[in-house]
Amino acid sequence: MSARDATVTRPVAPHRGTWALSWSGVRTVAALELRQRVRSTRWIVALVVWFVVVGGITALATGSVSLVSGGGNGSVRTAGTGADATSPLVPTGPAGPTVPAGPVIFGFVVFFVLFLGLLVAPTLSATSINGDRNAGTLATLQVTLLSAAEIVLGKLVASWVAALAFLGASLPFIVWALAAGGVRVMALVVTVLVLALILAVVCAIGLGFSALTARTSGSAVLTYLTVAGLSAVTLILFGLTVPLVNTQADVTVYGVEGWDSELTPACSWFTDTRTVVHTERTWWLLALNPFVVVADAAPATTSPPSTASFDPLSAIRTGVRYARTGPETVVDECWTRGAGEASPVPERRLDSAPVWPWGVGAYLVIGAGSVVVAVRRLRVPQKVLPRGTRVA
């Protein structure tokens, strides 16, 4: 038998498709990425700085609230009296009812953590793929049995876990609002979950740009521009569209139209032509803003909610839901009504107009699209590579 006939047939590794997924593959890539981050002292220093800065902001917010409350009793004093003055959550005082300080501290700390998260999360993923490609380590992963989807999802999980580490460092200060009173545990849990979701979407956006661009600086800039567009440009566009949705309409008003025989103002029904703003046509711009999504998704911090509260989350939630429902066609302007007298104008219901589901849905679509783009850019064989790309 000749040497040609004695050729030994070697087993060939089974081909795995681009979208083949296994938990072991995703875990392997994620573990490799996390080991590299843990070995880096810069990541640990950034985590310590994050903890110190969030702690300082929490202390500053607590001190400011104590000064406003005029005695550090853990509640904010408000002026006037009303139905809230009899609420067990709103203790009364010589200058009027007070409200718990917890919602105020909770709102400011949550927004500051979200702000810092939007600054840090892009740095955790925006250079993940093109950085490995430039260093020649990405090709090593691509020639293994790992699929493109496993590589992308592994890197996404690693960057998300790193972002959650920063969020975890903020939890003691977010929980601090519970000690100040007026914040429900459910509000805290839902807020933290929404924050984690937004950080995951930002990491996915950075991963998508990292796969699209050859330079790490380009992917980082594009990721920050996208985050800035969602956070700031959406608010700017909403404000600029206000003059475009103004119309003249007849509004039914219950208010002071004239004077009675004793020269005292009397309230009555009348119709007035006014300028109304149809924000129900442009509210979806606000639904794309991460700060609006967090504020609208968080349940009411106090139970029952207090109308005298200075909670920034509740203020934003009320504003965006008013924007979604549009202008009122029946308005109560009877300023002469006595205390305790019921208004003939029905109260506006905002519970049926949440904005956060649309924002969360849009974020899930953006995040999924970014992952799909990254996977398609890592599939093997790749027909076209960016100029100057290092393969191995």
What average pLDDT does the segment 92-107 reach?
66
pLDDT of residue 242: 93
| pTM listed for this prediction | 0.84
- Residue 210's pLDDT band, with cuts at 50, 70 and 90, is very high
**What's residue 40's pLDDT?**
75
Number of helices and strands (H, E) in the chain?
13, 6
In a domain, 193, yes or no: yes
The reported pLDDT for the residue numbered 372 is 96
In the chain, the number of structural domains is 1
Q: In this predicted structure, what is the pLDDT of residue 305?
A: 46
Q: What is the mean pLDDT of residues 363-382?
A: 90
Among the ranges given (139-148, 247-256, 299-308, 348-357), the one the predictor scored with the smallest mean pLDDT = 299-308
Instruction: Decide: residue 301, CB within 10 A, 0-12 exposed, 13-18 middle, 19+ buried.
Output: buried
Query: What is the average per-residue pLDDT within 245-249?
Result: 92
pLDDT score for 139: 84
Q: What is the pLDDT of residues 43-73, one digit of tens each?
A: 888 899 999 999 999 999 888 887 876 544 4
Q: Could you report the per-residue pLDDT of 263-284, keeping only the tens digit for each?
A: 677 788 889 999 999 999 999 9
What is the reported pLDDT for 365?
97
Confidence of residue 80 (pLDDT cuts 50, 70, 90): very low
Q: Using DSSP, state whether 235 is helix, strand or coil.
A: helix
- How does the average pLDDT of the chain come out, rounded? 82
Asked whether residue 101 carries a pLDDT value surpassing 80, the answer given is: no
Q: What is the DSSP string of 102-138?
A: HHHHHHHHHHHHHHHHHHHHHHHHTTHHHHHHHHT-H
SS3 268: strand
Q: Report the run of H or E that residue 75 belongs to, with start and end.
A: strand 75-77
Q: Average the pLDDT over each of 48-62, 215-229, 259-273, 319-333 and give the range with the smallest value.
A: 259-273
Q: Inform me whether the pLDDT recorded for 391 exceeds 70.
A: no
How does pLDDT run across 283-309, given as a tens digit for each residue? 999 999 999 999 999 887 654 444 445
pLDDT band for 256, please (50, 70, 90 cuts): confident
In the structure, what pLDDT confidence band is assigned to residue 117 with cuts at 50, 70 and 90?
Answer: very high
What pLDDT score does 30 carry?
94
Per-range mean pLDDT, top range of 44-48, 74-78, 193-197: 193-197
- For residue 330, pLDDT beyond 80: yes
Mean pLDDT of 206-235: 95
So what's the pLDDT on residue 184?
86
Q: How many CA atoms lie within 13 A of 308 on its CB side?
A: 25
Q: Is residue 205 part of a domain?
A: yes
Q: What is the pLDDT of residue 303?
A: 46
* % of the chain with per-residue pLDDT over 90: 49
Residue with tokens 């939007």: 118
Residue 243 domain flag: no
Q: Is residue 9 part of a domain?
A: no
Q: Which domain holds residue 135?
A: 23-223+366-378
Report yes or no on 187 lying in a domain. Answer: yes
From 60-74, 103-117, 168-182, the region with the lowest mean pLDDT: 60-74
Percentage with pLDDT > 70 across the chain: 80
Q: Which two tokens stand for residue 351?
A: 């519970």
Q: In the prediction, which pLDDT does 21 show? A: 85
Query: Does a cis peptide bond (omega within 30 degrees of 0) precede residue 304?
Result: yes
- Kindly report, residue by residue over 22-35, the tens digit of the pLDDT: 899 999 999 999 98
pLDDT of 199 > 90? The answer is yes
Q: Look at residue 232 and tell me if it is in a domain.
A: no
Residues 374, 206: Cα–Cα separation, whole Å = 10
Q: Sorting pLDDT into bands at 50, 70 and 90, what band is 36? A: confident
pLDDT at 316: 92
